[in-house]
Amino acid sequence: MTKEYHTITDIAGPLIFVEKTEPIGFGELVNIMLPDGSMKRGQVLDTSSDIVVVQVFEGTAGIDKESGVCFLGETIKLSVSLGMLGRILDGSGEPIDGGPKIVPDERMDINGSAINPWARDSESQFIQTGISTIDGLLTLVRGQKLPLFSGSGLPHNEIALQIARQAKVKGEGEEFAVVFAAMGITNEEAQYFMKDFERTGALKRAVVFLNLADDPAVERLITPRLALTAAEYLAYTHDMHILVILTDMTNYAESLREISAAREEVPGRRGYPGYMYTDLATIYERAGKIKNKKGSITQIPILSIPGDDWTHPVADLTGYITEGQIAISRELHRKGIYPPINPLPSLSRLMGRGIGEKNTRGDHRAVEQGLYAAYAEGRDLRGLVAIVGKDALSERDNRFLMFADVFEDRYIRQGRDEDRSIEQTLELGWELLATLPESALTRIDRRILEKYHPAYRKKHSK
């Protein structure tokens, strides 16, 4: 039925231009038959009665003007079914684990649709990651998108894996299913992820999409969309709670820039296209929790920010869309602290939905504020000590200085397999706050202080 055209006029970068076609739909999927018999796929970017522009996913190498072009009459769809769990697929959704093809239960458009803001649920549940800095200070909740802001050479992958391994919702035994999308990561990194999934048995409850560094860049543009389509299917059709890990969004943005340049579009900041904000939003905003649906999608995108510069467009635009960020600190990493999460520039905007009496404990907000303020003050003092020396500091200041060290050593630092419960995290927080003079804890409500501060609790128990 589908007609094969041999009317390619131009080939430029990842784009081919085809003329004299019948009407072709915008966004349609395209098969390109090469003279050597192999096939590549692409998508329509621009269509008119005169010429059709096709973006080729696997790159245009080997395509000549005599190659055949077939338009498939539909936009890109992903075959989804429960059978995807435990499978490893390539960046365009084909199995690469040697297993059989996915038997589709449904075929879904990979671009998805925007969730109606009216349908979103404002209630949520606390996700315990077992990492104190996240649980205590940057609480993650179901339906949130919370990226890791990292840089090259930092252990963001290990942290993401630890979160994936340990994430659970308090009171519900139910584990998360993980959808993992790799975009342009190295073979080595991919193996690291796969080994860990296999070692911990997490693979059984995971769907993996791999687009590696040497895979075509254009394919990267659809990889996260495939992953999120799979996630939506599992979450909203099968009531599962899904954790989506997207790594590395910086590579994704690079591909976006590459295509934009090939299309000769007007560039925005640093050559990235002007529509990058909207494009990233169509990925990130697919996280969420819907009022009358049981499942949810929580996203942890990973960004390796070039030059640790947060004003870089990828980090900047991501920060404007996501609900906070987890800052991986080079300074803490150099000190040998794992996980090197610096709470000061980090933020979780939805924290309020996941803490308090109903979710964690009544003192959670107070401990968070106390620790944050004390650590911030301690770090400020470090700067001062460098100038005036330790002896010039008051007794009170020295206590804060010490607090910052102990906080890094005991609260932030933990083992790669250490899974702390929220109670342990909160208790540890109080233990550290108790090293400070009580008069310094002005931010904490009197009633909460008297109920939870170790000094008072000892009195009660006597």
Applying the rule CB under 8 A, the residues between 112 and 171 that interact with another protein are 112-122, 143-144
| Exposure string over 127-143, b if 16+ CB within 10 A, otherwise e | bbbbbbbbbbbbbbbbb
Q: Which is nearer to another protein, 190 or 317 (CB)?
A: 317
Segment 385-444, which members bind another protein (CB under 8 A)?
A: 387-388, 392, 442
Encoded tokens for 408 = 């890094």
Give dist(CA 104, CA 90) in Å, integer: 17
Q: How far is the CB of 374 from another protein (least distance, A)?
A: 12
Of 274, 278, 255, nearest to 265 by C-alpha is 274
Taking the mean position of all CA atoms in its chain, how far away is CA 157?
11
Q: Looking at 9, 48, 187, 421, which residue binds another protein (CB under 8 A)?
A: 48
Give dist(CA 361, CA 370) in Å, integer: 15
Segment 305-364, which members bind another protein (CB under 8 A)?
A: 310-313, 316-317, 319-321, 323-325, 344-345, 347, 349-350, 352
Q: Which is nearer to another protein, 105 or 109 (CB)?
A: 109
Interface with another protein: number of residues (CB under 8 A): 76
In sequence order, what E strands does 310-437 have? Answer: 324-327, 347-348
Q: Looking at 290, 402, 434, 448, which residue binds another protein (CB under 8 A)?
A: 290
Give dist(CA 18, CA 65) in Å, integer: 9
The region, left, alpha or beta by phi > 0 then psi within -120 to 50, assigned to residue 156 is alpha
Segment 357-376, which members bind another protein (CB under 8 A)?
A: 369, 372-373, 376
Helix (H, G, I), strand (E, B) or coil at 424: helix
Q: Which stretch binds another protein (CB under 8 A): 176-184, 209-217, 272-280, 417-425?
A: 272-280
Q: Is 75 among the residues that bind another protein (CB under 8 A)?
A: yes
Q: How far is the CB of 86 from another protein (least distance, A)?
A: 27
Q: Is 265 among the residues that bind another protein (CB under 8 A)?
A: yes
Q: Which stretch binds another protein (CB under 8 A): 9-17, 39-47, 96-104, 405-413?
A: 39-47
Q: Which is nearer to another protein, 192 or 236 (CB)?
A: 236
Of 354, 104, 76, nearest to 237 by C-alpha is 104
Q: Is 28 among the residues that bind another protein (CB under 8 A)?
A: yes
The region, left, alpha or beta by phi > 0 then psi within -120 to 50, assigned to residue 94 is beta
Q: Looking at 2, 101, 292, 462, which residue binds another protein (CB under 8 A)?
A: 292
